[in-house]
Structure 1
């Protein structure tokens, strides 16, 4: 049976590269995008579907889930990056946490029951070495805080989900995107390799880990 994939923020950059790679693995791929027109345009270029989804809005998450139905593979890719000092700009903190922590949590909550009942699930949380304590937690302001929290959620939820519902965090590295900048050394396709691998893990694959270049990365 064909697996259904939802890639949030999948209309450009790494998200679009992940979506394209998963279609090549014979998956039904749905791109979640705040701007539905942009999502539909991107989806058409790779043979995917699109749904309007603002991951920072719980009602939008609920509407999305009702519209697309069960999901077997969830890639929490949508993100925001602010470079302003977070204590002087608390709104940056609120949006970052809503987008990169609360949104992934509520999406997981929406789809995990189907994954349990179907004895299969793959959840990939797109993180960053900037949210890693072992790497010095060097992420700018709210971004690093949110990614560290996302990593903590990945680890904590892995203990609550059955082993056949695998949840992992992925660091794509520094990638040439609108967020990463166009001087970055990696292409979107290179950044997408590890999350695609995690989204297609075999039954004996890892869960509750943090990976870069398919190798474990310290929390």
Structure 2
């Protein structure tokens, strides 16, 4: 019987690569995104089901859960850099703009996962997996984005303690620099690219498939005793021991 997989933020970048890989494995894949003009073409191209859902909106997340049945795999891939300009104009103080930036980071990179996972929790089946996409920014130079990703890892570890007795694993994939996405909104310079590659041990940028393949493994029978972990996929740019 085909597994059912939900991938938030599945219209581009890492989320899209994850959805494509599970779809290639003949899973029933559902992707979400905030805008109809990106969700519909992505779903058609991937051969999956697309649902427009802003994962920071509790009402939309609850409506998404109502459209789903039993769920084998949840991949929380929605996220991104904080929206700029929020709270700057006419805010009254620089602190208003700072607060808006932090709210944006936390909403996109932590609360999307918290709300989505909470909404579908009762639908996750034994033997299932919750996988959230983190970032090397949680370890260094991450600002509000990195702090949100660090919180994501802490929340995921706590959630594992709740879900593991039900036979559901819960892990974070902490991605290093991944080339070929729109994450940096065209602001990645050649110099910065070379510096990030130089930090790795294998001297190459990451690819979306590196993360997708890790997600596939974490949702496989061979990873059933891996839970509560942050798996670092960064070519050695950040090491653990």
TM-score normalized by the length of structure 1:
0.86
Aligned residues: 212
| Structure 1 gaps, min length 5 | none
Equivalent residue, structure 1, for 2:202: none
Evaluate the alpha carbon distance shift between residue 201 and residue 111 of structure 1 in structure 2; reply closer, same or farther with a 3 A threshold: farther
State whether residues 56 and 99 of structure 1, in contact with CA within 8 Å, keep that contact through their aligned partners in structure 2: yes
Equivalent residue, structure 2, for 1:147: 149
| Structure 2 gaps, min length 5 | 85-93, 194-204
Evaluate the alpha carbon distance shift between residue 198 and residue 171 of structure 1 in structure 2; reply closer, same or farther with a 3 A threshold: same
Report SS of the residue matched to 2:120. helix
Distance in 1 (alpha carbons) for counterparts of 2:175 and 2:221: 17
Tell me by how many angstroms 1:160 deviates: 1.2
Q: How does 1:1-219 map to 2 (within 5 A)?
A: 1-82=1-82, 88-115=97-124, 118-132=125-139, 137-139=140-142, 141-163=143-165, 164-176=167-179, 177-180=181-184, 185-202=205-222, 204-213=224-233, 218=240
Q: Say which one has the larger Rg.
A: 2
TM-score normalized by the length of structure 2:
0.79
State whether residues 193 and 213 of structure 1, in contact with CA within 8 Å, keep that contact through their aligned partners in structure 2: no
CA deviation map 1:101-149 (0-9, x unaligned): 122112111222222xx322200010012113xxxx321x210110010
Tell me by how many angstroms 1:82 deviates: 3.3
State whether residues 58 and 103 of structure 1, in contact with CA within 8 Å, keep that contact through their aligned partners in structure 2: no
Tell me by how many angstroms 1:203 deviates: 6.0
